[in-house]
Chains A and B, each alone.
Chain A
């Protein structure tokens, strides 16, 4: 009985001392600089510039150096890349290179297989839009012949 009473007061003492301890932590944090930023209007510099270079944002394609090998299309697990390559008299010609960024899961499996680094990630991440169709990116406006890497020339340049 007596121990119960002692324990009762001990509990009160513990509660009275431990709660202000936590409050002190809150108080200490009240006077430090905030760790958050006020996105999107009050920021010192563009968020894209603060991101690391290998950030996986929206995909982009440089049509001039695309070889039309279709490796990225093959490696994509959800088929969000669609490429149209036709064989014409002058050789293979790229007619369309579509990437559905609304479908894309930014896994990055399409980037490493590319032999010429034509498909790569940008640091763009702001994709909200009123119309989901505007996230279907077309990278080829006029039919472009595929890039043929000149192996000898490349070797010379490296040397």
Chain B
């Protein structure tokens, strides 16, 4: 039965990883705009951007 310690430890670790992922997603602003990305993903990639320098965090997220 002492395996239960490992199991609980493992399950809590997994749960905490998911919690941290959620907190990170909120902090990263992924819940700020729930509409635009759904449209954006349907656009053609088109001509690639030439400049790929530092864009201060707003890197174009086009696939």
- To the question of whether A and B form a pair in one complex, the answer is no
Binding site for A on B (CB under 8 A): none
